Structure 1
Amino acid sequence: MDKQTQTDIEAAVFRRLLEHLNERKDVQNIDLMNLAGFCRNCLSKWYSAAAQERGESVDYEQARELVYGEPYSDWKKKYQKEASAEQLAAFEQSQQK
């Protein structure tokens, strides 16, 4: 497989991941962090960093809007729930590893 095809496939997979996360708004970021060690905010940070590495200016808030599909503040009001004590404990435990 040539490099451009690989890049195209990787981009398609990333878009599908964002679609999947958009379809699963019930899955909170803390759940993602506890299970996978990354969340939508991590994707936003990685997106911004990758853009910067390539000489493009995409700040964190712009990247968040790309990942969340709307301004983060709007998404947070609509979908983010307060983390439970169990979720917070699991997060703390995962940070100690």
Structure 2
Amino acid sequence: MTKLSDEQQRDFEAAAFRRLVSHLRARTDVQNIDMMNLTGFCRNCLSNWYREAADEAGVALDKAQAREIIYGMPYELWREQHQTEASVEKQAAFAQNQPKDH
């Protein structure tokens, strides 16, 4: 395995994260509940992790700001434009499989 410098690792991780965020912004057809049911995380989780990283660095970032960074627009606007009602089955799966740290 190629040995990466700390800077290379950070830069590659940042690039992968930016690509993930870009991909999720383009895939508005994929609902957060679907992501949670399949992977155990969603766009909101990413925004929470982003905000936690900012907090650890001493940067004040509120929930709405972090969500806008991930969604590419205010969260409420994204919900109005893209969120659909989850089926009873999806809601039941979410309730059963929700990670304990959420």
TM-score, L = length of structure 1: 0.95
CA distance in structure 1 between the partners assigned to 2:46 and 2:39 by the alignment: 12
The RMSD of aligned alpha carbons is 1.3
The equivalent residue for 1:29 is 32
Q: Which has the higher helix share?
A: 1
Number of positions where the alignment pairs a residue of Structure 1 with one of Structure 2: 97
The equivalent residue for 2:90 is 87
SS in 2 for 1:10: helix
Structure 1 segments of 4+ aligned residues over 4 angstroms from their partners: none
Unaligned ranges ≥5, structure 1: none
Letter in 2 for 1:30: I
User: Are 2:33 and 2:42, in contact at CA under 8 Å, matched by a contact in 1?
Assistant: yes
CA distance in structure 1 between the partners assigned to 2:98 and 2:48 by the alignment: 18
**% identical aligned pairs:** 58
